[in-house]
Structure 1
């Protein structure tokens, strides 16, 4: 069976078809390895040229927001930190904040255990998250897809005050996660490399889980609380125990290129006003709200 559907509902323009071919019908794994190697080359001149070429395709690249303006490698630029105060965090304890800068994608209610990556393209929670306990927890809950464009700030942060006691890593493919691919590749997020991180809070009737999903050119996912770097080269155990505590807004880790985070929430959460598909959101902005009666 083909790994994608091209139905009238999901038909693509010629421009979109070209985008899909150029970013997916290529040796995705080897190109990702290459970018991982290339991005670590220590050369200020090569890095400056590379960033200039990159800016031709990413008009919204804002390096003036970075703590440092000169980079020794492309990887330093990809994983840049921002100047203090540029991402104020909503501190209301009933608010779940965005864990990253992103474009809001598919979101809404989980219909039983069915989640949508794009209109007409559902997948089952069990196909994305292997843990049966979490599968049951988020039935009829909420979800939101947050896409980090390559030009965006690539670090992600705790959306609530929480503890993390393990990370589940699932190796996989490196399909592009842009809207063009999501309209064409069935169950794309379930095919790609990803991690599952349950956030434990002091609200027993509420739950949040993050699923960072890697993609083409994403050389690795790095979590600040793990010694291992999770990438296509990682051959270790799939369950990585840890002991980490975070205040809301604390940095958790970063992608080495743009990608996606899918946030799952229990049914008592609602989306904040203004959250709709295609809207840009900053890390720390209000994303969802819970109800004190569920605390």
Structure 2
């Protein structure tokens, strides 16, 4: 048993060194460039190599089966009907396919990325008004593996008025790194997306966190791609409305979305650390409230 533990520790150390103690920014910029090369043959070869390390890569679920670039494969759409949305009014659905990471109550303003590794809400969310809404609230960390469906969707009917993009590092966000790098989510590239709901007592905010290799996120309601090359304003104004389950954007590689909810919500019964979840499945539940009733134009237009 002791030998197995030691072997696992050495394996984790090697994983951490290979994915973090490297020129992270340079490798991320390179991978961003490489993933956009349009070459069906190179893409096919890259996918075959990728499948050697990702046995759970399910390209048969994709709308299209051939890709002109690796980036097209990363950001693939799924066949219609594969992700039914839980439409119950009291349910906040998962915005993405993911593995559930640390989750539970925010202790005052303290959140945990892993056991023994806390960070303060203000360190992750620089807007004091937004951060204050989640004191003693609820959080769920959703980790998107590189092999997963990379698009994220509205977990509830909502409106988005602005995105706060925070430039940062590109640490790996896997559990091995989360146990070794303090306040990792507060160090990485990320965006704060407050979802305006049609009720004063409820509040939901998504914090997509980018990671190594392709630290890039695209919101359909913003003209620019948010990545290491972005040099624009941190606060980006917009006016987009979404129906529950409507696509909001995508990552260009696996990453993480942290979902924050006001204190009257609770985790659904089967949500626990290490459990997989699909986009559209029940994530949080709270008191039933009215859906946004105004017209919901397609925000991707």
Give the match for residue 279 of structure 1.
275
- Give the 3-state SS of the residue equivalent to 2:56 in structure 1: coil
| Aligned-partner Cα distance in 2 for 1:77–1:292 | 38
**TM superposition shift of 1:220:** 1.1
Q: Which residue of 2 aligns with 1:89?
A: 85
1:205·1:294 contact (CA, 8 Å) conserved in 2?
A: no
| TM-score, reference length from structure 2 | 0.93
Correspondence list, 1:235-246, <5 A: 235-246=231-242
Q: How does 1:54-203 map to 2 (within 5 A)?
A: 54-203=50-199
Which residue in 2 is equivalent to 1:248? 244
State the SS of the aligned residue for 1:13. Answer: helix
Q: Secondary structure at the match of 1:252?
A: strand
CA shift at 1:61, angstroms? 0.2
- Describe the SS at the equivalent of 2:68: coil
Q: Distance in 1 between matches of 2:99 and 2:199?
A: 28
Deviates more, 1:258-267 or 1:210-219: 210-219
**Aligned equivalents of 1:77, 1:273: Cα separation in 2:** 33
Please give the TM-score of this superposition, normalised by the length of structure 1.
0.95
Shift of 1:174: 0.1
**Preserved contact between residue 157 and residue 283 of structure 1 (Cα < 8 Å):** yes
* 1:35–1:219 contact (8 Å) kept in structure 2: no
Aligned to 2:229: 233
Per the alignment, residue 8 of structure 1 pairs with none
Is residue 223 from structure 1 mapped to residue 214 from structure 2 by the alignment?
Answer: no
Structure 1 residue 218, shift from structure 2 partner: 2.1
The 5 A counterparts of 1:39-58 are 39-58=35-54
Aligned to 1:13: 9
Extract unaligned runs of 5+ from structure 1. 1-11
What is the alpha-carbon distance in structure 2 between the residues aligned to residue 137 and residue 67 of structure 1? 39
1:6-44 deviation digits (Å, cap 9, x = unpaired): xxxxxx700000000000000000000000000000000
| Pairwise CA RMSD | 1.4
Question: Which residue does the alignment assign to 2:297?
Answer: none
The answer to whether the 8 A contact 2:217-2:227 is kept is yes
Shift of 1:294: 10
2:242 pairs with 1:257: no
How far is 1:203 from its partner?
1.8
Instruction: State the distance in 2 between where 1:293 and 1:75 align.
Output: 39
Divergent runs of 4+, >4 A? none
Count of residues in correspondence between the two structures: 285
Which residue is 1:7 aligned to? none
Note the residue ranges of structure 2 that are not aligned, 5 or more in a row.
Answer: 1-7, 292-301
Counterpart secondary structure, 2:99: strand
SS at match of 1:45: helix
